[in-house]
Amino acid sequence: MINLRFSNGEIIQEENEFPIGLIILKKGDLLCESSFCNYKKIHINKGVFAEEFLFDKRSNELLKNIRKTEITILDNIAEADKFLSQNTNLLKLAIEKRINMLINMNEKISSNFIKNENSKKLSSEKSKKFFKSIYRYNWHHFNADFIQKYISARELILEKEYEEALDILNKIILNNVKDDYFKAEIDIWKIYCVYHLNPDKAHELFDKVRYKYNFLDSLISFKILHNLFNKKKLDTIYNSYFKKGYVIPAKTVLFFEGEEGDWSFLILKGSIFVSKFLNEKTEVLLNILTEGEIVGEIAILKKVKRTATVFSKASTQIILIDSDNFESLINESYLLGKNILKALIYRVDFQKELIQKRTLKEKIKFLINKYSIERLNELHLTPIQFINLFGSEIDMNNFLSEINSNKIAALRPDGTLNFKS
């Protein structure tokens, strides 16, 4: 631990350098600036900086003393980690700072990528219209009756209202839902309720469900149920899922651009598409987010109109985060809070590294390494969707020539990319 005072105007840390430790602002006015993220703010008397130290990453911040700055530097990772775990109020401030940096970075990238005439924000009605014209039908919305009933039942389970929760779960109609993972999720929570009403019957149902589905180990809810049967306490991440974790069925729009929202979510398993729809024929895929990444992060800070459409093609397991439960989730699970912080830092790092790739081949390989060949093939991306992920304009003919000549991928009959190992 190092305690330091600085003269006015003195640089404490440069952007893009490896931090010497986690920096705690004890007193004074400290300028935090990121040229890459287009972020600039003066922090007064408190705050945490250079959090990249925890993850062995270069700093995305320039730190400069404005007035009478006193800081503490924790130059041991274990010590820094322990400090943050004991000061979750500062962890919360760090996450909020990183969210603002990410928002600014995304605005900067999208303004460079999406032409001015197409960058205006859409109403939710237009977003829905454009989405349906491209993806057609048989999609669900997060506000669909069967999803909201599932969420209501889960909230009743938290309140130990098992009979009422079971009644709601039994009334969920899944005729139009093709996702077996979501169906298994409903069955698991039914058994959870039955266990508290009739344990013997619950064990019978448990055996039937295990026979019915061969993928139960991939569901966090199944592990929670298994712990219940074996009278084991829940680990922190399971406990967070028990309180605010859900399975989102395949082919679900979580929100359309233009809708109001006050919640975000952390992906535990699965992939999420983030897109802007410019018209009935044009989708710009802004990002594909995967395990450990946070989606709709601006809603943690304030209620907003969504700036993009977010949807899942396959079932996804998430933890729902809103302004009301954000602080309590972090207080209850430092690991969850740290993972959110890590995800925000890694998102910026990913964009930095992608921009630094000089050749088209390097950019393609970089994206393949991020997502993996297996996941990319599961996602069935079109060439234009994959190109969109570069965040800059790439000539389609050059891209197709590159993947063909280097045997990176081939086109399937449906026009999507099949990546080769």
Domain range list for the chain: 2-86, 118-137+251-355, 145-243, 360-419
- Superfamily for the 118-137+251-355 domain: Jelly Rolls (2.60.120.10)
- Please check whether the two domains, 2-86 and 360-419, share a CATH topology: no
As a whole number, the mean pLDDT across the chain is: 91
Instruction: Grade residue 114 by pLDDT with cuts at 50, 70 and 90.
Output: low
**Mean predicted confidence (pLDDT) in 193-201:** 96
Instruction: Grade residue 118 by pLDDT with cuts at 50, 70 and 90.
Output: low
Q: Which residues of 95-122 are buried (b: 16+ CB within 10 A; e: fewer)?
A: bebbbbbbbbbbeebbeebbeeeeeeeb
Q: How far is CA 347 from CA 103, 257, 271, 272, 341, in A?
A: 11, 21, 15, 14, 10
**Mean predicted confidence (pLDDT) in 305-329:** 90
Q: Which residues contact 282 (CB under 8 A, 6 or more apart)?
A: 118, 130
pLDDT in tens, 58-99: 999 999 999 888 999 999 999 999 999 999 999 999 999 999
Look up residue 268 and give its two tokens.
């535990």
Lowest mean pLDDT among 89-103, 143-157, 207-221, 289-303: 289-303
Q: What is the pLDDT of residue 332?
A: 84
pLDDT in tens, 226-261: 999 998 888 878 888 999 999 999 999 999 999 998
Angle 224-252-312 (CA atoms, 0-180°, nearest 5)? 80
Instruction: Quote the CA–CA distance of 88 and 333 in Å, as a whole number.
Output: 9
Instruction: Quote the CA–CA distance of 345 and 99 in Å, as a whole number.
Output: 9
**Mean predicted confidence (pLDDT) in 146-158:** 97
Q: What is the pLDDT of residue 117?
A: 44
pLDDT at 343 over 70: yes
- With respect to CATH, is domain 360-419 assigned 1.10.510? no
Alpha helices (runs of H) in 198-312, residue ranges in sequence order:
199-212, 220-229, 236-244
Q: Which helix (H) or strand (E) holds 391?
A: none
Q: For the domain with range 2-86, which CATH number is right: 2.60.120.10, 3.30.420.40, 3.40.50.1370, 3.40.50.280?
A: 2.60.120.10
Q: Which helix (H) or strand (E) holds 36?
A: none
Q: What does DSSP assign to residue 316?
A: E
- What CATH fold (topology level) applies to the domain 145-243? 1.25.40
| Nearest by Cα to 254 from 221, 296, 220 | 296
Q: How far is CA 324 from the centre of its chain?
A: 18
Which pTM value belongs to this model?
A: 0.90
Q: What is the pLDDT of residue 28?
A: 92
Instruction: Grade residue 297 by pLDDT with cuts at 50, 70 and 90.
Output: confident
Q: How far is CA 268 from the centre of its chain?
A: 8
SS3 at position 25: strand
Instruction: Grade residue 224 by pLDDT with cuts at 50, 70 and 90.
Output: very high
Q: Which residues contact 175 (CB under 8 A, 6 or more apart)?
A: none
CB 222 within 8 A of CB 269: no
Q: Which residues contact 384 (CB under 8 A, 6 or more apart)?
A: 396
pLDDT at 145 over 90: yes
Which residues sit opposite 105 in a β-bridge? none
pLDDT in tens, 3-21: 777 777 889 999 999 999 9
Instruction: Quote the CA–CA distance of 326 and 305 in Å, as a whole number.
Output: 19
